[in-house]
Amino acid sequence: MNYLIIIDALRFAILCGLVNMSQNFLGAFKKLYSLERFDPPIDGSLRFFGERLVGKSATWGGLVVSLFVGIILQIFYSPVGVIIGVGCSFGHIIGSFIKRRLHIRDGDYLPVVDHGNYVIFTGAILLCLGDISVPVYFLSIVIILLVHPLFCLSGYALGIRDRKL
């Protein structure tokens, strides 16, 4: 395998992971200071066939933090930082929408969707824009699906996450 593909996949996976971790830190910050009521869900608690449109973890604050991290990435590292920031947030929102349609409760684990949603969605956008190649896209998904659970377990051990996965 070409080393440049591996390096590009790691770079993309790390950038997406940074955006995703920023949302986890926002959640921990809100919990620590009891600020959840100041960060409303992005769906306004709307219901779709009796289920929430998306979960309570998909919030306006998460979108703002993802955008902010994307701007920082764009300024200091990547010309597509904002796309990565917003793409990761919308990937999370789409994953939450899928889980609600499958009647999976907020916080319950759904393989691939919970750990890959942000990379799958953002990568698809960057693939369409020609910023990443097909091998980089699929390798970055594999990397995230292998590494993300380790970060979840670490976050749980540190008290940043409520659940192990």
47-57 pLDDT, tens digit each: 988 888 998 88
Domain ranges within the chain, ordered by starting residue = 3-24+52-158
Rounded-to-integer distance, Cα 80 and Cα 157, Å: 33
pTM of the model: 0.90
Q: Are 116 and 141 in contact (CB under 8 A)?
A: yes
Reduce the DSSP state of residue 41 to 3 states and report it: strand
Rounded-to-integer distance, Cα 5 and Cα 1, Å: 7
At 124, the pLDDT band (50, 70, 90 cuts) reads very high
Give 33: exposed, middle or buried? Use CB within 10 Å, 0-12, 13-18, 19+: exposed
Number of H helices, E strands in the chain: 5, 2
At 60, the pLDDT band (50, 70, 90 cuts) reads very high
At 140, the pLDDT band (50, 70, 90 cuts) reads very high
Q: What percent of the chain has pLDDT over 70?
A: 99
> What pLDDT shows up at residue 50?
84
* Helix orientation angle between 3-32 and 81-101, rounded to the nearest 10 degrees: 70
At 144, the pLDDT band (50, 70, 90 cuts) reads very high
Q: Are 96 and 108 in contact (CB under 8 A)?
A: no
Q: Are 115 and 145 in contact (CB under 8 A)?
A: yes
- Name the more confident of 158 and 98: 98
